[in-house]
């Protein structure tokens, strides 16, 4: 299959693993060039990964007829305007999470893409990896019976101790729900289907954060917190399953699992959905006492960020639906904003959007192949 040519916007922290995988792992993708507001970052990445062009600007990249997909790896605040600019230029776009800081802006992107016949796909793509695909097979093959409930926990004390530029995590489009919620919600939707209604509670436990790493001479810098940093949500899935999720940047220590799914016959413990593999554990009430490690049944157990782009590239060449598609991305944004709205209004709110469970990955693939 002819390679799909890619341009990357944003050469910051996360760009390294994308460039590594898009250039060296997936057989369908090729990165022609990158751009960043900070030109030295492009030069540094070009020196390391050897892509052909260091574009001086996004405009210059968009004028390059070779580029088919633009991958947006900027801070969340800029995702929307860049996605719109890329679509207006007639190119497909793959955007890091979240798609948008709210439904309104997400819907504008969705409508523009539809009107132009272009694809918008996006992160996370960890749900296409070996662990979560294995968990999906376990559920669909009936190992835990009918899923009735799910509990999800993303608890940490934020990003200022490790991220070189952590400010955006505390601005609109950031916060633990918009930053980390997409991993958990996408995983749960992939395993249980779409969400019909939500309730929520939110808090800002610390109005100010202090940077405590030395990566960019920002040690001691204060960050004003503009968004809730502790969010508890309840989800009623269309299937009838009931779920809870806590995402927090306010918790120092905890001992709760990432995601557990409870079925009529047993329980499944899902590993960290921020990664492509980890221990997936099963407990079947009538067969197994204690947790049993489930062997991986799918490819892409290593850090395969960009797998969703390879999947999108195959979709472009074959005409099939991409897995990390706009309906899924928008449904996740709808749910995340729904928790915040429900908390503000003190009500259970319907989720008006829906999506299909993405098709499962193929079990047998050649190295670097996606089908």
Ligand X SMILES: NC(=O)c1ccc[n+]([C@@H]2O[C@H](COP(=O)([O-])OP(=O)(O)OC[C@H]3O[C@@H](n4cnc5c(N)ncnc54)[C@H](O)[C@@H]3O)[C@@H](O)[C@H]2O)c1
Question: Among residues 30 and 179, whose Cβ is nearest to ligand X?
Answer: 179
The DSSP symbol for 97 reads S
Question: Among residues 36 and 334, whose Cβ is nearest to ligand X?
Answer: 36
Residue 37 interacts with ligand X (CB under 6 A): yes or no:
yes
Q: Minimum CB separation from ligand X for residue 8, in Å? A: 9
Q: Confirm if 28 and 370 have CB atoms less than 8 A apart.
A: yes
The interface with ligand X within residues 44-63 (CB under 6 A) comprises: 58
The DSSP symbol for 28 reads T
Q: Minimum CB separation from ligand X for residue 297, in Å? A: 25
The interface with ligand X within residues 82-141 (CB under 6 A) comprises: 82, 96-97
The interface with ligand X within residues 66-85 (CB under 6 A) comprises: 73-76, 78, 82
Question: Among residues 81 and 345, whose Cβ is nearest to ligand X?
Answer: 81
Q: Which stretch binds ligand X (CB under 6 A): 6-14, 62-70, 315-323, 344-352?
A: 6-14
Strand, coil or helix: 202? strand
Among 8, 22, 35, 309, indicate the residue that binds ligand X (CB under 6 A). Answer: 35
Q: Confirm if 61 and 136 have CB atoms less than 8 A apart.
A: no
Q: Confirm if 92 and 70 have CB atoms less than 8 A apart.
A: yes
Among 1, 14, 348, 359, indicate the residue that binds ligand X (CB under 6 A). Answer: 14
Question: Among residues 97 and 331, whose Cβ is nearest to ligand X?
Answer: 97
Question: What is the widest separation between alpha-carbon atoms in the chain?
Answer: 62
Instruction: Tell me, residue by residue from 173 to 202, as one string, x for binding to ligand X by CB under 6 A and - for no binding.
Output: ------x-----------------------
Among 7, 10, 106, 338, indicate the residue that binds ligand X (CB under 6 A). Answer: 10
Tell whether the torsion through CA atoms of 262, 152, 268 and 125 is positive or negative: positive
For 293, the enclosing helix (H) or strand (E) is strand 292-293
Q: Which stretch binds ligand X (CB under 6 A): 30-38, 130-138, 265-273, 347-355?
A: 30-38
Question: Among residues 41 and 357, whose Cβ is nearest to ligand X?
Answer: 41
Q: Which stretch binds ligand X (CB under 6 A): 36-44, 63-71, 128-136, 338-346?
A: 36-44
CA distance 244 to 149: 8
Question: Among residues 9 and 309, whose Cβ is nearest to ligand X?
Answer: 9
CA distance 33 to 6: 7
Sheet with strand 29-35: strands edge to edge: 53-54, 29-35, 4-9, 69-72, 92-95, 120-122
Non-local (6+) Cβ contacts of 238 within 8 A are 193, 194, 195, 196, 354
Q: Which stretch binds ligand X (CB under 6 A): 4-12, 113-121, 136-144, 306-314?
A: 4-12
Question: Among residues 37 and 365, whose Cβ is nearest to ligand X?
Answer: 37
CA distance 24 to 194: 34
Question: Among residues 182 and 200, whose Cβ is nearest to ligand X?
Answer: 182
Q: How far is CA 31 from the centre of its chain?
A: 21
Helix 15-24 with 307-318: angle, nearest 10 deg: 50
Nearest Cα to 75, choosing from 228, 222, 178? 178
> Which residues are near ligand X by CB under 6 A?
9-15, 35-38, 41, 58, 73-76, 78, 82, 96-97, 165, 179
């Amino acid at each position: 299959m002819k390679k799909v040519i890619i341009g990357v916007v944003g050469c910051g922290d996360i760009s390294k693993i994308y460039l590594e995988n898009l250039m060296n792992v997936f057989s369908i993708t090729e990165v022609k060039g990158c751009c960043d507001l900070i030109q030295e970052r492009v030069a540094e990445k070009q020196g390391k990964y050897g892509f052909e062009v260091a574009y001086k600007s996004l405009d210059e990249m968009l004028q390059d007829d070779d580029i088919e997909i633009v991958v947006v790896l900027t801070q969340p605040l800029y995702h929307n305007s860049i996605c719109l600019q890329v679509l207006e230029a007639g190119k497909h776009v793959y955007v890091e999470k979240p798609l948008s800081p709210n439904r309104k802006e997400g819907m504008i992107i969705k409508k523009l893409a539809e009107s132009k016949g272009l694809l918008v796909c996006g992160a996370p793509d960890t749900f296409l990896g070996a662990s979560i695909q294995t968990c999906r097979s376990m559920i669909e093959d009936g190992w835990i019976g009918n899923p009735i409930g799910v509990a999800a926990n993303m608890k940490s004390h934020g990003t200022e101790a490790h991220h070189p530029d952590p400010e955006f995590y505390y601005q609109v489009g950031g916060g633990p729900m918009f930053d980390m919620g997409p991993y958990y919600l996408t995983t749960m939707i992939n395993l249980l289907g779409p969400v019909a209604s939500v309730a929520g509670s939110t808090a800002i436990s610390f109005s100010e954060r202090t940077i405590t790493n030395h990566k960019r001479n920002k040690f001691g810098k204060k960050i004003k917190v503009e968004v809730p940093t502790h969010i508890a949500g309840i989800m009623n899935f269309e299937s009838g399953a009931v779920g809870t999720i806590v995402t927090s940047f306010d918790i120092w220590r905890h001992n709760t699992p990432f995601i557990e799914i409870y079925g009529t016959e047993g329980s499944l413990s899902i590993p960290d959905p921020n990664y492509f593999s980890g221990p997936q554990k099963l407990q079947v009430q009538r067969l197994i006492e204690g947790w049993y490690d489930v062997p991986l049944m799918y490819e892409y157990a290593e850090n395969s960020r960009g797998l969703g782009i390879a999947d999108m590239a195959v979709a472009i060449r074959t005409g099939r639906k991409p897995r990390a598609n706009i309906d899924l991305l928008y449904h996740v944004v709808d749910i995340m904003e729904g928790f915040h709205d429900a908390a503000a209004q003190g009500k259970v709110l319907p989720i008006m959007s829906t999506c299909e469970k993405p098709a499962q990955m193929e079990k047998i693939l050649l190295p670097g192949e996606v089908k």
